[in-house]
Amino acid sequence: MQYRLLRVLAGEAGAFTVVGDDDQSIYAWRGARPDNLRRLAEDYPRLRVVRLERNYRSTGPILEAANALIAANPHVFPKRLRSVRPGGERPRVVACRDGRHEAAWVAGEILLRHRRDRIPLGAFAILYRGNHQSRPFEEALRELGLPYALSGGTSFFERAEVKDLMAYVRLACNAGDDAAFLRVVNVPARGIGPATLERLAAYATAHGRSLLEAALDPNLAHALDRRALARLRGFAQWIVDLGDRGLRGDPAAALREIVEHTGYREHLREGAEEAAVARRIENVEHLLGWVERMAREEPALTLADVGARLALADRLDRREDEGADAVRLSTLHAAKGLEFDHVYLVGLEEGLLPHRSAVEAGDVTEERRLAYVGITRARRTLTLTHAERRHRRGRPVPCEPSRFLAEIPERLLAREGAGDDGAARERGRAHLARLRDLLA
């Protein structure tokens, strides 16, 4: 439709200028296809083509790798990018044991380079094919206290199921948190309706108490009918008991009790599509697993400590100001048009990049363009990572490195292992230095 309108406006003379790059056409599902450029050349035989091959962003080694990769695609207007920047390092390829190892290694690398080389965090970007890949990197960055900004997806702590469980923890640790009370008092549904909550709020305001405290006040019986009072008190007493057990016992067990006692998984299944339910339950299990790991590493950890950690992680997660000094996490689609000094392009495996659906369809040309876009976001250094296995539904599944890695000649790449002890020691020293600064 847009092209037809352009032809009417431009007339037979074709007085217009088009700027485009068929190698960066990554939005076919929005109607943007390289065939549009081919049609342009056919409809306007006198079309003058100006190839913009001089690149001011990336170093030569990065562009050589990009050129080698995209050469496997058919081209409407062939070109070869040349850098105007001298020098530069070859892109690194790093094989990691699994997804968690990959995330920890990348986060540790960023911490090391930030501390040792004084590189601002905003100069780093972690790019991936799909939104679901961000989660382990978010966790790894949070554990090192590195702020990040998320593009092209919903951050972990913004997901409704995570906010619900966090609200339960906050309320169990702080009876005065009315916002948390209102979020979870009827999630899952307990038959506590708006009228009951309005009377409870009026009573709490009149007596200077929080909603949870008011729900346990014996005199509340004068304001509510017997059935509503029983439901409200049952919920409030369970929250108080949960908080008491969480302070004295295992916080991971307390969090798991929230999920089991409330039937939260069944709540997530109500009226939702199967794929959405699976993602939400996976997020719940991820949060449970994270807290369980914290509890194993710190036996003295209480539910209040967990609440504080979650609150801190949530604040780090909310750094949405693009000008803030924070690591950028982004899908490849959302990264188009952006550039960063140091790029980590992660998850270079068959089924991830290229995506399984493209492989099954027998056409990976757009997936190759996605990888090309990711590579050419890097100005100074580029690191490509892949995992030897990933956990799916709790089981380790072997992974095959992406065919795109094989399409770049070995002489253009520098392969490394992620288990280098020297680098690990450096990252450890950087982490300890950060802790000393915090204590000081």
- Could you tell me where in the chain the CATH 3.40.50.300 domains are found? 92-153+321-439
Supply the pTM of this predicted model: 0.70
Question: What pLDDT sits at residue 395?
Answer: 83
Q: What is the pLDDT of residue 322?
A: 46
Residue range(s) in the chain whose domain bears CATH number 1.10.486.10:
160-315
C-beta neighbour count of 403 within 10 angstroms: 18
pLDDT in the model for residue 92: 96
Q: What is the pLDDT of residue 421?
A: 45
Q: What is residue 226's predicted lDDT score, i.e. its pLDDT?
A: 86
Quote the CA–CA distance of 4 and 13 in Å, as a whole number: 15
Class level of CATH domain 160-315: mainly alpha
pLDDT for 153 equals: 61
pLDDT for 121: 94
Domain 92-153+321-439 of CATH type 3.90.1200.10: no
Task: Note the pLDDT of residue 407.
Answer: 96
> Average pLDDT per run of 10 along the chain, which is 440 residues long?
85 84 81 79 86 93 96 87 92 94 94 93 94 88 86 74 91 90 90 88 90 89 86 91 83 89 90 80 86 83 83 63 76 91 96 92 91 95 95 84 96 81 53 58
- Given a contact cutoff of 8 angstroms between Cβ atoms, the answer to whether 310 and 169 are in contact is yes
The pLDDT value given to residue 422: 45
